[in-house]
Amino acid sequence: MSTRSERHTVPLSLLLKRELENERIERPEIVHGQASQSKKGEDFTLLKTECQRVVGDGISTYSVFGLFDGHNGSAAAIYSKENLLNNVLGAIPSDLNRDEWVAALPRALVAGFVKTDKDFQEQAQRSGTTVTFVIIEGWVITVASVGDSRCILEPAEGGIYYLSADHRLDCNEEERERITSSGGEVGRLNTGGGAEIGPLRCWPGGLCLSRSIGDMDVGEFIVPVPYVKQVKLSTAGGRLIISSDGVWDALTAETAFDCCREMPVDAAAAQIVKEALQAKGLRDDTTCIVIDILPQQKPVAPLPAPKKLGKGVFKSMFRRKSSESSSHVDKEYIEPDVMEELFEEGSAMLSERLDTKYPLCNMFRLFTCAVCQVEMKPGEGVSIHYGSSNPGRLRPWDGPFLCLSCQEKKEAMEGKRSSGDRHSSGSD
């Protein structure tokens, strides 16, 4: 007769199988392809899969994809491609577990973008670049962007989601107001006699973007502080498209996904570029990266075809995961859960972007600049909240802290001091 404990014994082989299945659910397969047509030679990409970092006694992997669309030359795009990732990783403490590391990414991305911009401007180069930067860790996608390249997502459940912001002055009233309140001017190119042509631009300089890395000749109200969005896909996966404005000037998001549906990633990227060139011709560098985030083994339960979504429905459309979502791995199909929005912030104010709900010891080293990571002596740093308009809630002696150089950068971006000589460039 079997004992009670024997009736509840689970064979080791089944336990190992469950562990293997859980790992496959936790770690999707990531495949990518890219295509481009060059007009100026100023588009650059960064494609890194299977990046590794030590977590406790194990190894955690993540993937990084970046698109850098340069203007006024390629120096800023090349510099950002070579240095941005290291600057982001340098802003994350090394002893965080996996969940803490993912939670730290939005703030580290802000610090990394600002440090990259600050370091590049010290080289006295006048080029600039847009950046769309994607980090995928497990099923979590974190996107940081400045400029007018875009990252869009179609999850397996259907729908189209914008994971980046468009920082063109023509379509972003909030950014126009920020620039004018910081001392810049926004207007179209004046050809004489009162006639104005072309897109809205920031003066001096003539840049039609409100955020970028580089562009030291335009003025520091053109800021490198990125819009950041973080989502967690369901275990059914999805497809990402990252493209420069050469694509988006010609195609809608719906057209981009529809024209490459069911295609493998390399063919999909090539098809999107082809469709863009057929629609508008080769007017600008045109680059596309397609990324599929897929379950590693078992097929997902059948889902309805993606729905066509109308204009203006892309806000607040993320569904929260139900507590009843199934995660059983012994079923013939894995029941899909739903996508979650984890984080979204687009403020250009460093005091808002580097603030944290987490204990400072987990997010920032006390005597290290929160942007450039330089070591500071006690008393040298300036609180990120110094000069805050809300002193009752945020005290000037609260951290995190900036070194004097990064504090000057912060004040210049907020229009609180002159950013020095500016020269007209008529760029982008």
Lowest mean pLDDT, pick from 20-24, 233-237, 279-283: 20-24
Q: Is residue 90 part of a domain?
A: yes
Q: Is residue 403 part of a domain?
A: yes
Same domain, 353 and 289: no
Beta strands at 140-146 and 43-55: parallel, antiparallel or unpaired: unpaired
Q: Is residue 70 part of a domain?
A: yes
Q: Is residue 271 part of a domain?
A: yes
Same domain, 387 and 254: no
Phi (first) and psi of residue 22, to 5 degrees? -60, -40
User: Residue 54: its pLDDT value, please?
Assistant: 84
User: Residue 268: its pLDDT value, please?
Assistant: 98
Q: Model pTM? A: 0.82
Helix (H, G, I), strand (E, B) or coil at 307: coil
The three-state DSSP-derived secondary structure of 193-243 is CCEEEEEEEEECCCECECECEECCCCCCCCECCCEEEEEECCCCCEEEEEE
Q: End of a domain among 345, 368, 383?
A: 345
Helix (H, G, I), strand (E, B) or coil at 294: strand
- What's the pLDDT tens digit per position in 44-81? 999 999 899 888 767 889 999 999 999 999 999 999 99
Short-list 245, 242, 162, 183, CA closest to 209: 245
Domain of residue 412 covers 349-417
Contact 92/32 with Cβ under 8 angstroms? Answer: no
Q: End of a domain among 345, 370, 403?
A: 345
Mean pLDDT of 129-155: 97
279 has a pLDDT exceeding 80: yes
Q: Is residue 286 part of a domain?
A: yes
- What's the pLDDT tens digit per position in 331-350? 344 444 789 999 999 999 88
Phi (first) and psi of residue 198, to 5 degrees? 80, -175
Same domain, 223 and 108: yes
Q: Is residue 83 part of a domain?
A: yes
Provide, rounded to the nearest whole percent, the portion of the chain with pLDDT above 90.
54
Mean pLDDT of 380-402: 69
How many domains are contained in the chain?
2
pLDDT band at 383 (very low <50, low <70, confident <90, very high): confident
- CA within 13 Å, CB half, 231: 27
Same domain, 281 and 361: no
Same domain, 359 and 269: no
361 has a pLDDT exceeding 60: no
Question: Which residue did the predictor score with more confidence, 160 or 280?
Answer: 160
36 has a pLDDT exceeding 80: yes
Under DSSP, the state recorded for 151 is: E
Same domain, 244 and 390: no
Mean pLDDT of 27-41: 95
Short-list 362, 311, 133, 356, CA closest to 228: 133
Q: Is residue 212 part of a domain?
A: yes
CATH assignment at residue 265: 3.60.40.10
Q: End of a domain among 310, 345, 380?
A: 345
Same domain, 272 and 385: no
Same domain, 270 and 390: no
Q: Is residue 10 part of a domain?
A: no
Same domain, 132 and 266: yes
For residues 405-424, one letter each, b for 16 or more C-beta atoms within 10 angstroms of the residue's C-beta and e for the rest, the string is ebbbbbbbbbbeeebeebee
